[in-house]
């Protein structure tokens, strides 16, 4: 991978499980990615700058706003930042909605 992309891109991790946050951050930072971690969808949306390249790793099931609700809000805001969904409890209808 081009290191220049890693210098400017930010991978945003949005998950309310601290252990998951730590594991993903560890993995990505060891690959020299810039990582920002948020513990809720609301916290993420307050701080989101969609003009910064990268992607969003988003838990579907969180307290407060769900990942799908966060995705809908990003669409309303016109964000084109790619979203990767994570969940421990997925099903086909949820995957189709995502």
**Helix, strand, or coil here: 13?**
strand
**The pLDDT of residue 55:** 95
**What does pTM read for this prediction?**
0.84
Q: How many domains does the chain have?
A: 1
If the chain, 98 residues long, is cut into consecutive pieces of 10 residues, what is the mean pLDDT of each piece?
Answer: 72 95 96 95 92 93 92 94 83 55
- The CATH number for 77's domain is 3.40.50.2300
Strands (E), the chain: 10-14, 34-38, 54-59, 83-86
**What distance in Å separates the CA atoms of residue 62 and residue 3, rounded to the nearest whole number?**
33
**What distance in Å separates the CA atoms of residue 31 and residue 13, rounded to the nearest whole number?**
15
The answer to whether residues 40 and 62 touch, using CB atoms and an 8 Å cutoff, is yes
Range of the domain at 9: 3-97
């Amino acid at each position: 991978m081009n290191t220049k992309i890693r210098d400017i891109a930010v991978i945003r991790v949005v998950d309310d499980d601290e252990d998951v946050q730590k594991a993903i951050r560890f993995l990505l930072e060891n690959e020299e990615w810039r990582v920002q971690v948020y513990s809720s969808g609301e916290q993420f949306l307050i701080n989101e700058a969609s003009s910064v390249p990268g992607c969003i790793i988003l838990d579907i099931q969180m307290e407060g706003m769900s990942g799908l609700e966060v995705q809908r809000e990003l669409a309303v805001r016109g964000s084109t930042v790619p979203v990767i969904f994570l969940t421990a409890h997925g099903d086909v209808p949820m995957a189709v909605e995502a």
